[in-house]
A and B are shown apart, each in its own frame.
Chain A
Amino acid sequence: MIGYLARRLGYYAVLLVVAVFLAYALASAALGPRTYFEAKQPRPSAAAVDRQLTALNINDRTPVTTRFGVWAEDLVLHGDLGRTIHDTSVNEEFGRRIWVSLRLLLVGSLLGMALGVAGGAWSAVKQYRLPDRALTILSFVLLSMPVFLVALFLKNGAIAAKDATGREVIPFVGYETPGLAGGVGAHLADWGLHLLLPTLALALGGLATYSRYQRSTMLDVLGSDYLRTAEAKGLTRNRALLKHGLRTAVIPMSTMFAYNFLALFTGAAFTETIFAWHGMGEWFIQAINEQDVNAVVAVNLFAAVTVLAAGFLADALHAALDPRVRY
């Protein structure tokens, strides 16, 4: 298994390098930092603009391979992601925002998966009865809503609650109350409360997607011979379901997790913007509007690494869970 995982890791590394180069080339070709500087008042001279662009390593008159070479060398040797268009450090901004985004991505994806697997398995066991029907309807409606719409509905609900009661019941702006007094406990509670709506917006989508698949794989497993054998050798129905049924039924979920993470990442970017979280997604949208090449590439790098990490996690999960697979 270690050999298999190492091979996957090597493949992912190759993919990452090619993908990051393509993203760099694409961002350099599509964005126009030169127009950003030329639009400044008073308009700087052409030579000054050129100097500025060269200093930031985003001059479109330097060949893109040369620019990428400089950027990659700085990244590999010094861990430096370059300068933003405002001549501040990309690393600093990156460091400030990464935890905001990761908090949302981690809690959202894991919670969505846990809820979905549990809900789907329960649904399968209760097939065609009330819990199954209710969950099916709920997930159908949720699957028909883009994440940003779910987020907007939640936010509008929170606004309505605020208008009705006269105070902010559930916070819907930002990820902490600025200038909050009190100890660690108060801060943690504050974080958790702020995390509630954005996480819910992401996790509900996960619940809907996973539970549909989990339900159908679980149904396949429920009719299988080995489950009957497990019961025949003396396990209770519930123990057999947990030990033999769920484990097999979860295996296909590991592949789903990798694919679903892509959608989740996009959803998180939208959710951040809607709930005014200063995370990577918000930064990305801002950077595109400001023609900030290095910041855009940095967010792409972050996306690629998290997506590949999710893929690797799925591979590991698959290898660990599937008794038939011996690599």
Chain B
Amino acid sequence: MTAVLDTAPAEPKSPAAPGRGRLVLTRLLAARGATAGAVIVLLLFLLAFAGPYLTPWDYATPNYTAIRQPPSAEHWFGTNGIGQDVFAQTVRGLQKSLVIGLLVALLSTLLAGLVGACAGYFGGWADRALMFLVDLLLIFPSFLIIAIVSPKLKGAGWLAFVLLLALFNWMITARVVRSMTLSLREREFVRAARYMGVAPFRIILRHILPNVSSFLIIDATVTVGGAVMSETALSYFGFGVRPPDVSLGTLLAAGTDQAPVFPWLFYFAAGLLVLFVLAINLIGDGLRDALDPTSDRSTP
């Protein structure tokens, strides 16, 4: 992504102007919300991947001598109904949810960029067919389709779930990319490339996609949060990640009924989920301001 960004400048600029990468970075650091979001996301990733080594407890091993204990020095987030350590479980679940969110965002943004750019660039029948597909997939809330298919995927594990989430998450972004491509196609530098005989897919990769990359980066960021929310919702209702795997969604599902009496079974997972998505949204918002050429701080 960063490599794409560096080759992005399409407009001629004076040699004295600072590089676009520097400009974007300066603006991002100036936006306090985005910086705070980035710090929180980094800390949460650290927690998710280093957390399991911080605690002596395993997330899956039950301990029948310590059942539903409130948070203490020994069990930081308390224990659940069969004595599993909630901290170990939460950290493990966070890890799974974050990885799922990242993968889904990556895959669905790639797909959206390709489909949108192809539809917009080629036009005609390719455009009509791809947009019909988009409309078709947008008719059903993706939850319905994923829930129908999920019993078949019981054995396939969480990666199949990632593919499924990505497959139903790209359509709206693809539409925006398409409409951006429609106007890019008529720009001089794209025409010049076309008349010089550059192959269409090369034009899409070298000239169209770099010019929609700002939008794609913002969209991918926000999608990470959205994907984590979809994951937890589907897992909560038993259509996503399944035991013995744990994610924030399965933890919330297990803790819901006991939340009023044993709050630590529910609110730690819920709090981390909201914190993560909030931080992601802050980054997305900061990126939007920093990357948007029309934002009021665009001229340095």
Interface residues of A (CB under 8 A from B): 15-16, 18-19, 22-23, 26-27, 30-32, 140-141, 143-149, 152-153, 156, 159-160, 163, 259, 262-263, 265-266, 269-270, 273, 284-285, 288, 296, 299-300, 303-304, 307-308
Contacts and interface: CB of A to CB of B under 8 A. Distances in A.
B4 interface: no
Given A144-B225, A152-B256, A266 B145 contact: no
Contacts of B282: 140
12 contacts: A15-B135, A30-B148, A145-B274, A147-B233, A149-B270, A152-B252, A156-B259, A262-B141, A273-B237, A285-B147, A288-B148, A303-B139
A148 B149 contact: no
B170 interface: no
B260 interface: yes
Interface in B228-249: 229-230, 232-233, 236-237
Contact of A263 (B135, B141, B149, B256): B141
Contacts of A27: 148
A270 B140 CA distance: 15
Given A23-B140, A307-B141, 13 more contacts: A15-B139, A19-B136, A149-B270, A152-B256, A152-B270, A265-B141, A266-B143, A269-B141, A284-B147, A296-B148, A303-B141, A307-B138, A308-B139
Contact of A266 (B141, B151, B260, B275): B141
Given A140-B278, A304-B140, A149 B252 contact: yes
A263 B148 CA distance: 17
Interface residues of B, number: 39
B294 to A, nearest CB: 10
Contact of B236 (A31, A148, A259, A308): A148
B232 to A, nearest CB: 6
Main secondary structure of the interface of A (DSSP, over half): helix
B277 interface: yes
B149 A26 contact: yes
A148 B232 CA distance: 9
A186 to B, nearest CB: 29
Nearest to A265: B141
Contacts of A15: 132, 135-136, 139
B229 A146 contact: yes
A285 B139 contact: no
A26 B145 contact: yes
Contacts of B270: 149, 152-153
B172 interface: yes
B63 to A, nearest CB: 27
Contacts of B274: 141, 144-145, 149
A143 B37 CA distance: 15
Contacts of A273: 237
Nearest to A267: B233
A11 B270 CA distance: 42
B297 interface: no
B136 A285 contact: no
A266 B281 contact: no
A18 B259 CA distance: 44
Given A148-B236, A285-B147, A143 B281 contact: yes
Contacts of A303: 139-141, 144
Interface string B247-275: 00000100010011000001000100111
Contacts of B142: 262, 266
B278 A266 contact: no
A19 B145 CA distance: 11
Nearest to B225: A144
8 nearest A-B pairs in the assembled complex, by CB-CB distance: A144-B277, A144-B278, A146-B229, A266-B143, A266-B141, A19-B139, A265-B141, A146-B233
B139 A270 contact: no
B218 to A, nearest CB: 14
B13 interface: no
A219 to B, nearest CB: 10
A299 B274 CA distance: 31
B260 A163 contact: yes
